[in-house]
């Protein structure tokens, strides 16, 4: 059947915490059909398949990737094997949609991009939260010129770390973890989707604690070694001339910093969540706007100053829950992109650029240098308000 008409069969690799959210969302769309799943534990994979009405369960990634009826592989495995399994799927002629990050290094990411091009296959990558109502509302404000040309931005993702809530927080303090690779990709992707590619970056970093004590069950009291820097300050120079400042940290007990602010020549957009887990890694949330006529420094009225204007979302996907959200709409958009022979919005090119920024920040902090970006990407088109109908 031609890609212009077909429903795409999806095989899911990995049956961890985010499996259920992805599968529940994919069930809503006619263009995709979850045909199979695979995990390291066959019993668990079979139970997941039974719970969701998935016809096939496999014990290994190789078996699932080898299924001739699978069109798209959804890669929900741990980051360390993202590149390996994505390339295995590409070699088998499958399209791939991967959880973030695209790969553990720029070198691995380059191999994925090259192989996808050689095979004529699509590769998409999370996070797709920038397709949610909140960031699409920000995009609409920018595209309508309501704050003028973007001149700068700030982003803050700060917390006391994961040993306070996660049962096995070791990974977050090992190479491939840390605040830059953990939650910062949501913030990078948000900025990239709104402002386009980055030209260069610089950063400084420190490791506040050499060891951390787990406070969560069942390993409460155990000590883990910290192998990565846990507080980083970074500067990004965008190709459009805008500058952005980011703080990413596991060393902050509490904060009232906004998650993201965007500064234009005539106004400011503010995403003012207090909780760092309620920032750009959610699909919904308030968007606050102040423009030159209402800001506290210019124009009228004079004090008392007006409140920020909350701009209502006209888009879909406005969830503010980590348990129930719209993860997977990036894959759905990719399926339509394959059918329509256009670029997917949650693209491998943007994910690779984000990966290069992350690696560049760590390099800059280590070498005390500026790092020039080599890659670029096309800023994704806004998601239509009437995104394709659900079942």
Total domains in the fold of the chain: 1
pLDDT tens track for 303-321: 555 578 999 999 999 998 8
Say what the pLDDT of residue 302 is: 52
Spatial distance between the Cα atoms of 205 and 198, rounded to a whole number of angstroms: 20
Tell which phi-psi region holds residue 346, choosing left (phi > 0), alpha (psi between -120 and 50) or beta: beta
Output the domain CATH number for residue 223: 3.30.360.10
Give domain status of residue 88, yes or no.
no
Say what the pLDDT of residue 369 is: 97
Kindly give, in sequence order, each residue whose CB lies less than 8 Å from that of residue 228, ignoring residues fewer than 6 positions away. 173, 174, 175, 177, 178, 207
Give domain status of residue 117, yes or no.
no
Q: Domain of residue 276: give its range.
A: 133-310
pLDDT tens track for 147-203: 999 999 999 999 999 999 998 899 899 988 899 998 899 999 999 999 999 999 999
Give domain status of residue 320, yes or no.
no
Give domain status of residue 210, yes or no.
yes
**Chain center to CA of 83:** 16
Share of the chain above pLDDT 90, in %: 83
Kindly give, in sequence order, each residue whose CB lies less than 8 Å from that of residue 107, ignoring residues fewer than 6 positions away. none
Say what the pLDDT of residue 4 is: 62
Give the residue from 63, 68, 71 showing the smallest Cα distance to 40: 63
Give domain status of residue 74, yes or no.
no
Give domain status of residue 151, yes or no.
yes
Which of the four pLDDT bands, split at 50, 70 and 90, describes residue 57? very high
Give domain status of residue 337, yes or no.
no
Question: Whole-model pTM?
Answer: 0.93
What's the rounded mean pLDDT across residues 18-47? 96
Burial of 321 (0-12, 13-18, 19+ CB in 10 A): exposed
Give domain status of residue 279, yes or no.
yes
Say what the pLDDT of residue 305 is: 52
């Amino acid at each position: 059947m031609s890609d212009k008409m077909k429903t795409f069969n999806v095989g899911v690799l990995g049956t961890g915490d985010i499996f259920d959210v992805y599968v529940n969302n994919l069930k809503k769309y006619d263009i995709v059909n979850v045909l199979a799943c695979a995990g390291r534990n066959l019993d668990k994979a079979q139970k997941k398949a039974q719970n969701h009405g998935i016809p096939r369960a496999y014990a290994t990634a190789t078996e699932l990737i080898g299924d001739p009826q699978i069109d798209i592989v959804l890669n929900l495995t741990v980051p360390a094997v993202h590149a390996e399994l994505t390339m295995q799927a590409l070699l088998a002629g499958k399209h791939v949609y991967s959880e973030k990050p695209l790969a553990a290094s720029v070198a691995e990411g380059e191999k994925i991009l090259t192989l996808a091009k050689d095979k004529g296959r699509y590769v998409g990558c999370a996070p797709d939260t920038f397709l949610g109502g909140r960031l699409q509302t920000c995009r609409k404000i920018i595209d309508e010129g309501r704050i003028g040309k973007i001149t700068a931005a700030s982003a803050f993702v700060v917390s006391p770390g994961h040993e306070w809530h996660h049962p096995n927080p070791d990974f977050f303090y090992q190479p491939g973890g840390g605040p830059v690779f953990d939650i910062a990709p949501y913030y990078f992707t948000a900025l990239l989707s709104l402002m386009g590619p980055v030209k260069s970056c610089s950063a400084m970093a420190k490791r506040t604690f050499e060891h951390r004590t787990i406070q969560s069950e069942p390993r409460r009291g155990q000590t883990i070694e910290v192998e990565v820097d846990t507080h980083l300050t970074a500067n990004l120079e965008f190709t459009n001339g805008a500058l952005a400042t980011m703080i990413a940290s596991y060393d902050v007990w509490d904060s009232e910093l906004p998650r993201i602010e965007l500064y234009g020549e005539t106004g400011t957009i503010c995403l003012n969540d207090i909780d760092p887990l309620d920032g750009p890694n959610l699909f919904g949330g308030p968007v606050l706007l102040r423009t030159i006529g209402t800001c506290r420094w210019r124009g009228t009225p004079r004090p008392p100053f007006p409140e920020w204007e909350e701009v209502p979302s006209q888009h879909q996907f406005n969830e503010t829950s980590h348990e129930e959200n719209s993860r997977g709409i990036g894959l759905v958009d990719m399926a339509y992109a394959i059918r329509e022979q256009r670029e997917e919005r949650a693209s491998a090119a943007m994910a690779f650029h984000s990966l290069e920024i992350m690696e560049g920040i760590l390099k800059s902090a280590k070498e005390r240098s500026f790092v020039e970006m080599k890659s670029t990407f096309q800023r994704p088109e806004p998601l239509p308000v009437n995104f394709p109908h659900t079942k």
